Amino acid sequence: MFFALSLRFRRINGSSTDTMNSVTMGKCRGHGRMRLAAGLAVAATALLFLGNAIATGVANRAEWQKNYHRPSEIPFPKSNPYSEAKVRLGKILFFDPILSGSQVRSCATCHNPALSWGDGRGRAMGEGQKPLALRSPTLLNVAWIPKPGWDGHFRDLESVAMGPITGATNMNLPEKEMIARLAAIPGYVDAFGAAFGESQITKRKIELALATYERTIVSGEAPFDRWIAGDEKAMSEAANFPAQWDPKLGIHVT
């Protein structure tokens, strides 16, 4: 019906209708040209940005490789050099609940390998499942952290372990009892002898063994690592888009 009425209206007042149609179609053509021009401008801007970003990415590649290249070896201090026997001892101690007063919690309770070497909680849990003041930090790549602790108050990794182990609200095991427990187990006596050349168990040896093992907790090779090493196909095209450092935000943005 609408189509029939439109035809009838055009017959009755053809001149005015034709004029209206010509004006309307002229506006449509004008709007179309404006939209096309705007689209071309946006595309040109995008291409210019992309070109600049790619140029910046290529220019920064050498710097990125220098700053983010995966280390070839784990740094062990001269005061606590690496040995396989020490790593084995440290690993056994790390996962053994004998180092807690209740003998149900271990270092791995708060630093679970299945949870990226953390515990997945907002706050760590201590003895009796009571929440602690701080969150458990991950141990991934801890070998490259010069000052461990949330506020960096530990002088080195060796000085960290005894705080949680002997802390009354954390693992709650006094030092004397800790040494007595370990010394009563022949396997531990032998393990300390293999790691340190003498079987006497001391607080310092426990610290050294745990720290040596913890330094071997290293994240696996990521696509970014392979890309930095020169593998252009290691990352997807979207992930490979050159990033720009925003000093105000303090992050890389694309």
> Last residue of a domain, which of 215, 233, 248?
215
Summary mean pLDDT of the chain: 80
My answer on whether 129 and 51 are in the same domain is no
Q: How confident is the model at residue 14 (pLDDT cuts 50, 70, 90)?
A: very low
Query: How far apart (Å, rounded) are the C-alpha atoms in residues 60 and 57?
Result: 5
Please indicate whether residue 152 or residue 2 has the higher confidence score (pLDDT).
152
Question: Which tokens is 63 given?
Answer: 């710097």
Write out the residue range of the structural domain in which residue 61 sits.
16-69
My answer on whether 143 and 38 are in the same domain is no
**Model pTM score:** 0.70
Question: Looking at residue 120, which CATH number applies to its domain?
Answer: 1.10.760.10
Residue 61 has pLDDT above 80, yes or no: no
Query: How far apart (Å, rounded) are the C-alpha atoms in residues 113 and 103?
Result: 20
Classify residue 6: in a domain, yes or no.
no
My answer on whether 97 and 190 are in the same domain is yes
Question: Mind listing the pLDDT tens digit for each residue in 211-242?
Answer: 999 999 999 999 888 888 888 888 776 666 55
The mean per-residue pLDDT over the stretch 61-87 comes to: 90
Residue 53 has pLDDT above 70, yes or no: no
Query: How far apart (Å, rounded) are the C-alpha atoms in residues 146 and 152?
Result: 8
Query: Residue 195's closest CA among 186, 203, 205, 185?
Result: 205
The pLDDT of residue 13: 42
Q: How confident is the model at residue 26 (pLDDT cuts 50, 70, 90)?
A: very low
Please indicate whether residue 150 or residue 139 has the higher confidence score (pLDDT).
139
My answer on whether 44 and 20 are in the same domain is yes
The pLDDT of residue 232: 80
Q: Considering its fold, how many domains does the chain have in total? A: 2
Query: How far apart (Å, rounded) are the C-alpha atoms in residues 168 and 132?
Result: 11
Classify residue 234: in a domain, yes or no.
no
Query: How far apart (Å, rounded) are the C-alpha atoms in residues 209 and 250?
Result: 38
DSSP E strand boundaries for 151-229? none
Q: Is 251 helix (H, G, I), strand (E, B) or coil?
A: strand
Inter-residue contact 117 to 140 (CB < 8 Å): yes
